[in-house]
Structure 1
Amino acid sequence: MNKYLLILVWLLVPPLQADSFRPAADDSLALAAALPLTDRMVELLARLTSEPDKAATLEHATLELSGLYLQGARQPGFDDWFHEAEQWLDTLGNKSAGSINYLLLRADIQQQQHQFQAALQTLQAVLNKDPQHLSASLMAARVYLATAQHQAAQQACARLWQQDLFLFSVCSYEVAGRKGNWSSSYPALEQLYQRQTSIPPAIEIWVRGILAEQAEQLGQMRVAQQWLQPILSQAPTSLWLKWADLSLQLGEAERVFNKLSALQQHLGFADSLLVRLVMAEQQLTAEQHSASQPSFFAELAQRINVRIARGDSDHAADLAYYFLHIKPDAAAALHWAELNYQSAKEPDDLALLKQSKQAFTQSNKLTEAY
């Protein structure tokens, strides 16, 4: 298999044929409705369900199906596919659990659930079998970056040196930025990107995401937004979030609302994007001096209340954003931001923690004043 097709699964990017994961224009999908499958997924499901007693002999089909679910799960509205991927992976026995493909899929699910230490242990099992494994090295670098282990991330990038100089360079420039060297890593990465005559779509989305982050860290919000705009229709949820945050900072609430509300009504999506949708609607309401409540607020509030009631701390950043921007509660925002930062330590997580601390400090000053 082409190495770039392997890489795209592990870089938090959508599949190359992203359109095949979207419903037709005349479909009407509720949040809990079954999501559309590709022809290949339908074929694999038919094989696995028609001969359930022989499922143990269909390891390759099960692994492929789980991988396809993971690819689709990156896109807005398809978050439930992470659970589908995990359920199919769980059907495999101990014999399959030692294969490299199984371990890569398991590590991907673990990092998505913010089980970063477990993901690193699983990836180490891959590297024990193949010390120069390309996908395992790239995913390990991403996990190390998510937990602010920058030196370990660079060591993971270094394993790419003799295999793919371009990927090694991109990986290294991303690490350099995370170390704080934004002013040198950004122009170097931009020049590297501009010298490429042809980049697979999945890799281009990955590189543009890094360039957007680095431009943002340099205070170039408009430039950062422009890096994302051309690939937004194929972008994973993580880059949709970044685009929405940048656009809201640039005062483009109407643009965010129009895009996200259309997406929400067509597919339905996870709390993180719903938070941005309500933020955009709140800004528009304020600009229009309207006292009406945002139309998506009730759904978001219900989801947040359910998560709090069941003690759901996965992706706690959603809760911190909610109490920081939607229903201001500085103490609650700080609580969830601190909880989030215990596991995820990327620039956005640090910024969220700082904003929550500032809101908490200001809230205390106001309380003391009265």
Structure 2
Amino acid sequence: MQGVAAPRTPASGNEVITELPRQDDGLRALRAAVVAAPRDPEPALVLARRYVMLGRASADPRYYGQAQAVLAPWWDRPDASNGVRLLRATLLQNGHHFTEAQAELGRIVAADPRAAQAWLTLATVQAVQGDSAGAIASCGRLSSLAGQLETFACLAVASANTGRMRGAEQLLALGLEREREAGNNPAPEIRTWALTMLAELAARRGDAPVAQQRFLAALRVAPADSYLLGAYADFLLDRGRAADVPALLRDHHRNDALLLRHALALQALGRRDALVPVRAELQARFDAASLRGDAVHLREQARFTLHVVKDMPAALALAQRNWQVQKELADTRILLEAGLAARDSAALQPVLRWIRAQGLQDVVVARLVERAS
């Protein structure tokens, strides 16, 4: 496997090494407010929340680091406000420190049972870890504290890997339709979240036309949303539409997960010459993450190692490490794919038992399970 790229001196002062995120006037004003009141946590919270929003939209981890830096004066204080605690839990979640995030969120809701965002974030963390029952219970607590659309979206996340998936999809679609009929205009991030989730659930049922319609509707709302772009690229790859992926992701190669989808599309299209530098770039990024002890992209690294590098034992080991941390559909799928490719039936047994216990529904996973049985 290739190592990390060697240090290099630019050929001239005009050479572009990387592009940093542009600072808009709104960010400058928020930063100025923090500088003007260094002991007041409220301006810091506003700026940190903005950084988190930017990080989610772009999947650029530097924004999360900036958010944590802004909160540094209050980060470890035992008397930190629930606002600081909630952002701390959010940043722990983004770093895949799910156990620590869940403990923090538990302390928040114990102190303030009406903390709606904490219940929603807790449900998301529980669902990622495979605790669907806990996630559904957290959504139940959210129902009297948030709007109907947010509650239905929460239930869709919590129920996605259970036998209740279809009912959750119908509820979420109903919630979105009721918002439209009432003339309400949900926040763009909520609408994007709901439409993306609905598209993924339709794809899981094998209803490609409905999934396509929903993905395109979501893209009209948020054409640069990194999670949405990755989900749609996966849909296209699964449908044999790899030719549509490079154009979709053309301006998003700084994102590791999206660059991986680009590489998978190039491979499917037989564009080997174009794939070589992309493969080297991805390998360097994953190697650098490993040196940092960063396990956030284990799923993507397992997928890269299996489908691009074609090192089956290494891919299986990565997928198993990832499975210990999170159990979303993509984590389940890559573990099944890697176990089948490595012909390791013992490695498949825990995930097969989990799929049966959960009642997980997905047409691609169902085919993989049939092969493994």
TM-score (norm 2): 0.79
Q: What is aligned with 2:197?
A: 210
Q: What is aligned with 1:230?
A: 217
Contact 1:97–1:103 (Cα < 8 Å) also in 2: no
Listed as ranges, the gaps of 5+ residues in structure 2 are 1-13, 346-373
2:264 counterpart (279, 287, 290): 279
What whole-Å deviation, never above 9, does each CA across 1:88-143 have from its counterpart, x for those lacking one?
11233655852111011101001111111111111122212210211111111111
Q: CA deviation at 1:44?
A: 2.4
Quote the RMSD (CA, aligned, Å).
2.7
Q: CA deviation at 1:250?
A: 1.6
For the pair 1:248 / 2:237, whether they are aligned, the reply is yes
Distance in 2 separating the partners of 1:29 and 1:223:
46
Q: What is aligned with 1:186?
A: 169
Q: What is aligned with 1:134?
A: 116
The structure-2 alpha-carbon separation of the partners of 1:185 and 1:44, relative to structure 1 and needing over 3 Å to count, comes to closer
The structure-2 alpha-carbon separation of the partners of 1:166 and 1:362, relative to structure 1 and needing over 3 Å to count, comes to closer
Contact 1:161–1:168 (Cα < 8 Å) also in 2: yes
Q: What is aligned with 2:40?
A: 58
Contact 1:337–1:353 (Cα < 8 Å) also in 2: yes
Distance in 1 separating the partners of 2:265 and 2:92:
32
Q: CA deviation at 1:291?
A: 5.7
Distance in 2 separating the partners of 1:185 and 1:250:
24
Relative contact order: is structure 1 or structure 2 higher (C-alpha 8 Å, sep ≥ 6)?
1
SS in 1 for 2:85: helix
AA of the residue aligned to 1:342: Q
AA of the residue aligned to 1:127: V
Distance in 2 separating the partners of 1:261 and 1:235:
11
Q: CA deviation at 1:167?
A: 2.7
What whole-Å deviation, never above 9, does each CA across 1:230-279 have from its counterpart, x for those lacking one?
32344532222111111111222222111212333xxx22x211111111
For the pair 1:115 / 2:115, whether they are aligned, the reply is no
Contact 2:298–2:319 (Cα < 8 Å) also in 1: yes
Q: What is aligned with 1:18?
A: none
Distance in 2 separating the partners of 1:135 and 1:333:
36
Stretch deviating more after TM superposition (147-156 or 91-100): 91-100
Distance in 2 separating the partners of 1:343 and 1:249:
25
Q: What is aligned with 2:26?
A: 40
Q: CA deviation at 1:209?
A: 2.2
Q: CA deviation at 1:337?
A: 0.7
AA of the residue aligned to 1:241: G
Stretch deviating more after TM superposition (126-135 or 296-305): 296-305
SS in 2 for 1:285: coil
- Provide the identity percentage: 26
SS in 2 for 1:273: helix
The structure-2 alpha-carbon separation of the partners of 1:94 and 1:257, relative to structure 1 and needing over 3 Å to count, comes to closer
AA of the residue aligned to 2:42: H
Distance in 2 separating the partners of 1:144 and 1:248:
29
Distance in 2 separating the partners of 1:78 and 1:142:
20
Contact 2:299–2:319 (Cα < 8 Å) also in 1: yes
Contact 1:70–1:81 (Cα < 8 Å) also in 2: yes
Distance in 1 separating the partners of 2:212 and 2:206:
11
Contact 1:275–1:318 (Cα < 8 Å) also in 2: yes
Distance in 2 separating the partners of 1:261 and 1:116:
32
The structure-2 alpha-carbon separation of the partners of 1:63 and 1:97, relative to structure 1 and needing over 3 Å to count, comes to farther
For the pair 1:171 / 2:154, whether they are aligned, the reply is yes
AA of the residue aligned to 2:43: A
The structure-2 alpha-carbon separation of the partners of 1:133 and 1:308, relative to structure 1 and needing over 3 Å to count, comes to closer
Stretch deviating more after TM superposition (143-152 or 74-83): 74-83
Contact 1:209–1:239 (Cα < 8 Å) also in 2: yes
After superposition, where does 1:259-338 map in structure 2 within 5 Å?
259-264=248-253, 268-269=254-255, 271-285=256-270, 293-309=275-291, 311-338=293-320
Q: CA deviation at 1:31?
A: 7.0
Q: What is aligned with 1:25?
A: none
Distance in 2 separating the partners of 1:160 and 1:77:
27
The structure-2 alpha-carbon separation of the partners of 1:185 and 1:209, relative to structure 1 and needing over 3 Å to count, comes to same
Distance in 2 separating the partners of 1:175 and 1:258:
33
Distance in 1 separating the partners of 2:77 and 2:292:
35
Distance in 2 separating the partners of 1:354 and 1:42:
47
Q: What is aligned with 1:366?
A: none
Distance in 1 separating the partners of 2:218 and 2:212:
11
